[in-house]
Structure 1
Amino acid sequence: MFEWHSWLGLAVALLIALVSALIVAAITKAIVVGATKRREWPRALTVKARHPYRLLLVIISIWVAINVTMPSSDWLDFFNHVFLVLAIADGAWFVGAIVGFALGQAMGRYRTDVPDNRVARRVQTQLAIVRRLAYAVIVIVAVGSILLTFPGVQAVGTSVLASAGLVSIVAGLAAQSTLANVFAGVQLAFSDAIRVDDVVIAEKEWGRIEEITLTYVVVHIWDDRRMVLPSTYFTSTPFENWTRSSSELLGSIEIDLDWRVSPAAMRAELDKILTRTTIWDGRASVLQVTDATGGFVRVRILVTAIDAPTLFDLRCFIREEMVEWLQTQDPAAIPRTRVQMVEAEPRKKVKATEKTSTEQIGLFTGSPEAEERATHMTMSLPTFTADEIAADRDKR
């Protein structure tokens, strides 16, 4: 008769356990896909959770085989502890995969690539934070469960729980900034202050909210840079949210022109320009003269668009079309700098004996004697050649 409590019996039991695990995995997959073959989510669930599920089946099968056919009981406690730890770890992986799949399916119901996506972006943000919180809880529970399987840790746990008050105070002081960011991240997710894909102005930079985590927020800046800010920044620092209630925006184009410009003609041209583009949403278009000082007339154009990138493109388009129209149709409106030339009046001659209030009397100015002294001081000095200087020296 075959002896199962032997090393050969253990090897045969392990082989049977592996085959059984594979058979159970295949049957489970066939049942799930067959029961819901007209839906897409079973296939996605199979892809998401198949690896931890199959590994869990293998761990349990081998564990049972070892307990049934282990020839020596000396190693049985060791193997039981090892497989218990592996089962807890893989079980946490499997539960995390199921939770991630469920939240991913929920997030897929809310698309952000549609015009009116404010509710979808809010739900996406909240579900992303919930998924991270769920993963953190699963990991903490799994690690705690694994540690409690060790007898020494159980004894230490009693003393730790006895001093939990002191430990919590010390941990709270040590991780004050970290905990503040965690609470700020949860607050941002459920207060609806910012959402994923919101357009914000933070640190004087224009960008979109790309990711919201428990401790930081990633802002995708318009030039493809990423700015990482702590979660507390958005709860303690003022910032601009351009898509808080809707993505529609109003923008302005300002042009300094000459006084000869015709606002009525520009207003008519603006209407023609807007009919040639599809990025204007049709809500508002205004042309006004907002200032007329310093030799120029400032014309401001107000237009609207469905979101910030579209508004930027619309402003650039209108500015280019207006510049081309001014150059070709109304060159008199191009700004000019004018300089008026005025002929100076001839200076009135004053007699030498007369003194005006602006004249200054000094050693060389103000009187005939002073002018004569100035003539002696500024007269040219005689020059001598080298031969003349030598002849004069010989004479002496």
Structure 2
Amino acid sequence: MVRSIPLPSLLSTAPVEAPGEGASLPVPALDSAWWGLELWQWAGLGVLVVGAWLLGRGLEWLVMRVVDRATALTKSGWDDQLAASARGPLRYLLFVVLVATGLWALKLPPAAKQGVELAARSVGLAAMAWFLLRFVNLAARFVEQTVAREEQGGNVGRARGLRTQLAVLRRVIEVAVVLISASLLLLQFEAVRNVGVSLLASAGIAGLFIGLAAQKSISTLLAGIQLSITQPIRIGDTVIVENEWGWVEEITLTYVVVKVWDLRRLVIPMGHFLEKPFQNWSKVSPDIMGTAELYVDFRTDVPAVRAELKRVLDHESRGLWDGKVHALQVTDLSERTMKLRALVSASDAGKAFELRCIVREKLMAFLREQPHGLPRVRTEASLAESGDAPVTLRSGANVLATVPGE
């Protein structure tokens, strides 16, 4: 076998010793690229980002000036909310558009161009989510102000229904926007897509376990949506639930907060209002009637008490009586007393409670001044035929005392 030995190349970079000098080391060539980009491309990318940001802010200012003048010419308030929601997210959307437009001039490598486009899309998705969330909040606030004006105008039932639907719908939209935006952001990455495909492959078993574990949460969420549609209760309604009297203060997707009359808060799961009975005193209208019951003597002048009730309502009710209903009736008799019921009306349950207290106090003061107003205990003396027989004092069926005869 013949073995060939390569000859030294004339273009070899081996160090050459110069006369009178030591051996010199080879000088490596400078690499002008980092992460696949040349220095001029990095500089161009920086100029593009800064210029797109400044130009985007300028364009936003110009567009918002035009939009503000256009909205000032209309009477609708929805365009004002839309313009206010766009102030802020619009600059990021313009920034993304300008960056995507200027990428073609840099002639970036495919990997670098893909990374920049990924970052731009992420910023754009975040800006869109921010815009939608701001618009939902501002629109909800605008509707709440409109509802408050309707409530002051007397249409309380419709105002409470709109407020309840608005509260639940806003939370549903916010949750949906956040989930969809986060999903779109994550699905841009190849690793996340691979994980998603793997999860979809095993979705049968995973969905079964997740469904069993989240059964209560899902049913509560659906109950919240059902309650906002059917509206057995609304924000501001007067209810009696769990033997507590109060007002519905807040309705979420999972629970209801009831403000009790003594300022306590009762937190009740949403399903309770769909599965168990409760009292809603303002379902149709907040108007309500209240009663004040009094126990008086049999000889009480009932027409005089009725006239006193009318006088109290006209002059001493502190504006709590709505002027619709007033009545005084004898509702029951016992062996000792007669029961009177004063019936009055008020615009809501809170005023009705205070009015009942006033009526009860004033009528009791009136009865104390009457000779036969308050109940009295009557006794009966029965004398036997014989003069020396004892005298028995009775009160109804009860024997009070036995007095010896003469």
Fold agreement, TM-score > 0.5:
yes
Asked if 1:263 is matched to 2:298, the reply is no
In structure 1, what is the equivalent of residue 283 of structure 2?
A: 244
**What is the distance in 2 between the residues matched to 1:222 and 1:32?**
48
- Paired-residue identity, %: 35
In structure 1, what is the equivalent of residue 211 of structure 2?
A: 172
1:318-329 equivalent positions in 2, closer than 5 A: 318-327=359-368, 329=369
Closer, same or farther in 2 for the Cα pair 1:46/1:225, shift >3 Å?
A: farther
Q: Which amino acid aligns with 1:91?
A: M
1:1-396 equivalent positions in 2, closer than 5 A: 5-38=40-73, 39=75, 41-62=78-99, 68-69=105-106, 75-110=112-147, 111-276=150-315, 277=317, 278-327=319-368, 329-337=369-377, 340=393, 342-345=401-404
Q: Aligned to 2:372, what secondary structure does the other structure show?
A: helix
Higher helix proportion, which one? 1
Closer, same or farther in 2 for the Cα pair 1:296/1:64, shift >3 Å?
A: same
Q: Gaps (5+ residues) in structure 1?
A: 347-396
Q: Aligned to 2:321, what secondary structure does the other structure show?
A: coil
The CA deviation string for residues 144-181 of structure 1, in whole angstroms up to 9 with x for no partner, is 11121111221222232233233322222101111111
**What is the distance in 1 between the residues matched to 2:245 and 2:154?**
20
**What is the distance in 2 between the residues matched to 1:292 and 1:85?**
80
In structure 1, what is the equivalent of residue 396 of structure 2?
A: none
Q: Which amino acid aligns with 1:211?
A: E
Q: Which amino acid aligns with 1:136?
A: V
The CA deviation string for residues 328-374 of structure 1, in whole angstroms up to 9 with x for no partner, is x315312345675644449xxxxxxxxxxxxxxxxxxxxxxxxxxxx
Q: Return the offset for 1:202.
A: 0.9
Q: Aligned to 2:292, what secondary structure does the other structure show?
A: strand
Q: Aligned to 1:252, what secondary structure does the other structure show?
A: strand
In structure 2, what is the equivalent of residue 379 of structure 1?
A: none
Q: Which amino acid aligns with 1:335?
A: P
Q: Which amino acid aligns with 2:372?
A: A
Q: Bigger CA drift: 179-188 or 59-68? A: 59-68
**What is the distance in 1 between the residues matched to 2:327 and 2:360?**
14
Quick check: 1:285–1:301 contact (8 Å CA) kept in 2? yes
**What is the distance in 2 between the residues matched to 1:298 and 1:337?**
15
Q: Gaps (5+ residues) in structure 2?
A: 1-37, 380-392, 394-399
Q: Return the offset for 1:303.
A: 1.2
In structure 1, what is the equivalent of residue 390 of structure 2?
A: none
Higher strand proportion, which one? 2
Closer, same or farther in 2 for the Cα pair 1:8/1:144, shift >3 Å?
A: closer
Q: Aligned to 2:266, what secondary structure does the other structure show?
A: strand
**What is the distance in 1 between the residues matched to 2:401 and 2:244?**
50
In structure 2, what is the equivalent of residue 355 of structure 1?
A: none
**What is the distance in 2 between the residues matched to 1:88 and 1:70?**
25
**What is the distance in 1 between the residues matched to 2:269 and 2:40?**
60
Closer, same or farther in 2 for the Cα pair 1:167/1:294, shift >3 Å?
A: farther
Q: Aligned to 1:201, what secondary structure does the other structure show?
A: strand
**What is the distance in 1 between the residues matched to 2:143 and 2:307?**
50
**What is the distance in 1 between the residues matched to 2:221 and 2:43?**
55
**What is the distance in 1 between the residues matched to 2:212 and 2:225?**
20
Q: Aligned to 2:40, what secondary structure does the other structure show?
A: coil
Closer, same or farther in 2 for the Cα pair 1:330/1:241, shift >3 Å?
A: same
The CA deviation string for residues 68-102 of structure 1, in whole angstroms up to 9 with x for no partner, is 54878765444433333232222212122234444
Q: Which amino acid aligns with 1:208?
A: W
Q: Aligned to 2:87, what secondary structure does the other structure show?
A: helix
Q: Which amino acid aligns with 1:175?
A: A
Q: Return the offset for 1:236.
A: 0.6
**What is the distance in 2 between the residues matched to 1:264 and 1:109?**
48
Quick check: 1:33–1:42 contact (8 Å CA) kept in 2? no
**What is the distance in 1 between the residues matched to 2:259 and 2:92?**
39
**What is the distance in 1 between the residues matched to 2:110 and 2:371?**
102
**What is the distance in 2 between the residues matched to 1:313 and 1:70?**
79
